[in-house]
Amino acid sequence: MLEGNLVNFVRLASIGGHQLMYHPANIADFERDTDIERRQRNLLRIRQYPALHDPAPCIWNTAEIGPNDACDNELLYALHCDAVHALVTEDRGIHAKARIRGLAHRVYTIQTAEDWLRRLHETRHIVLPNIQDVPLHGLTPELEGAFFDSLREGYPAAAGRDGFDEWFRRKAREDRHAWVYRDSDSALEAICIYQVQNDEVLNDAGEVLSGPALKLCTFKVGEPVRGRKIGELFLKAAFRFSTENSCEHLFITARADSQDYLIRVLMDFGFEERGTYCGDMVLVKRQPVIPPSTEGIAPNDYVRRYFPHYRSDSTVRKFLVPIKPHYHEILFPDYTSVQPGLFAPTGNVGNAIKLAYLCHAQTNAIRPGDILLFYRTDDEKAVTSLGVVEQFEVSSDGAQIASLVSRRTVYSLGEIDELAKKPTKVILFRLIGHFPTVVSYEQLTRDDVVTGPIQSIRKVSDASFSKVLAASRQ
């Protein structure tokens, strides 16, 4: 399945003028392979590309480190030294080490790298994905399709291949629902089956989640669409659903040996390990109805743990961020001027949670955990949306900017290079939601939130922020 992604990745790299190369340490690594046929195949393939010239010796390696770990360190050290912009690998061990070294945002799988380049070079053809909420019985005619094969294989062996099908049909009769994603040909490519359960026994230790909890029963993103933030969209739908249905916990089981990428995504959105159930890892996210205490928790960590709750106390700064309609539509494709509610469930979810905003504002005062109030200029002239900052950088390096925003949103390389002609502010943030009622410029002036045109990012007081929130609920 990855062969097609690899071919397209190489094609897009060529189109965009990106140099693909290998690290000399890869040669020694391949030469240790005892499988002669595979060794020769890998050596032949890798030598189609140039080698990284004279990389700095890896200071992380010591005599006690084995040759395989030493090779991994060599690759990551070259990335650390900025010999390259990014590292593309399917090696799970390297991805784990990259997280420890703080380099995970620059290490890609083939699929996520392909998606990055597609966003940079094919933006006119990219439509951010939508997911739909459907009853399982509507999917029964597709149950025999190849998409479900891996789910059948992962079902308990004692139940046999038909065990999953029987379970699926039984849940369909119970009117269980799922979020699904289909490709442009309407083929099923991703599914998340969910159910509200009460006082659920969580793990083998017998822990119980009191009250209603949202269980994500089956979570699969097909290989052809991995890297396109489908999993993030499923989580966005789950968070919305939990908020509207007062589910104070979400939980899921995952296989640690084969679903490490899913586990990393879940943990990035506040899920924590809570033991095992029948050999699978159990992950739980708290989503309390009443916002938990903020004491001792940094603002950016607070929103990660308790999203959609966020800190807005006096230690957190608030900014009004003007954004032109064109970029507003790029950044927030699921926004409509008439909102059903900040977290109301909708038929479609068409935007991710983790996004990026680029501008030339004068401010350098933004920091992680700060609140952003997005003000749509020109047509609506209103505050529409709220986000919380994760990272703030200033750069005039187009390649660095492209790397920073790669997993976040759709900016073409041309747009990035044009912006990078001047020092560019890169704001990585989590979208909390769109306001149920937009707050007009007239309202902002009446409430003394602003006293003149909103032309650049500006800080607003705690009192002004409270007025904006109050107006958004009217």
Distance CA 131, CA 233 (A): 7
The pLDDT assigned to 161 comes to 55
102, 146: one domain: no
Residues in contact with 166: Cβ distance below 8 Å, sequence separation at least 6, in sequence order: 159
Do 243 and 201 meet the contact criterion of CB atoms below 8 Å apart? no
Residues in contact with 307: Cβ distance below 8 Å, sequence separation at least 6, in sequence order: 239, 269, 270, 287, 353, 430, 432
Q: Which domain holds residue 277?
A: 128-286
The pLDDT assigned to 350 comes to 47
332, 418: one domain: yes
Do 28 and 66 meet the contact criterion of CB atoms below 8 Å apart? no
The alpha carbon of 43 is separated from its chain's Cα centroid by a whole number of angstroms, namely 34
Distance CA 26, CA 94 (A): 13
User: Per the structure, how many domains does the chain have?
Assistant: 3
How many CB atoms lie under 10 A from the CB of residue 308? 21
Q: Give a yes or no: residue 229 inside a domain.
A: yes
The pLDDT assigned to 253 comes to 92
Please give the sequence-ordered ranges of beta strands (E in DSSP) within 10-142, or none if there are none.
Answer: 87-88, 107-108, 131-135
The pLDDT assigned to 349 comes to 42
410, 369: one domain: yes
Provide the CATH number for the domain around residue 197: 3.40.630.30
The pLDDT assigned to 438 comes to 94
The pLDDT assigned to 122 comes to 64
Q: Give a yes or no: residue 309 inside a domain.
A: no
Point out the domain boundary residue: 286, 309, 335. Answer: 286
* Parts of the chain with a pLDDT under 50: 1, 123-128, 158-159, 338-350
The pLDDT assigned to 163 comes to 83
424, 359: one domain: yes
Look at the pTM and tell me if it is higher than 0.75: yes
83, 143: one domain: no
Q: Give a yes or no: residue 119 inside a domain.
A: yes
328, 464: one domain: yes
The pLDDT assigned to 403 comes to 84
153, 209: one domain: yes
27, 108: one domain: yes
Whole-number Cα distances in Å, 243 to 191, 236, 272, 373, 438: 21, 11, 19, 21, 21
Q: Give a yes or no: residue 161 inside a domain.
A: yes
Q: Give a yes or no: residue 306 inside a domain.
A: no
Q: Give a yes or no: residue 301 inside a domain.
A: no
188, 114: one domain: no
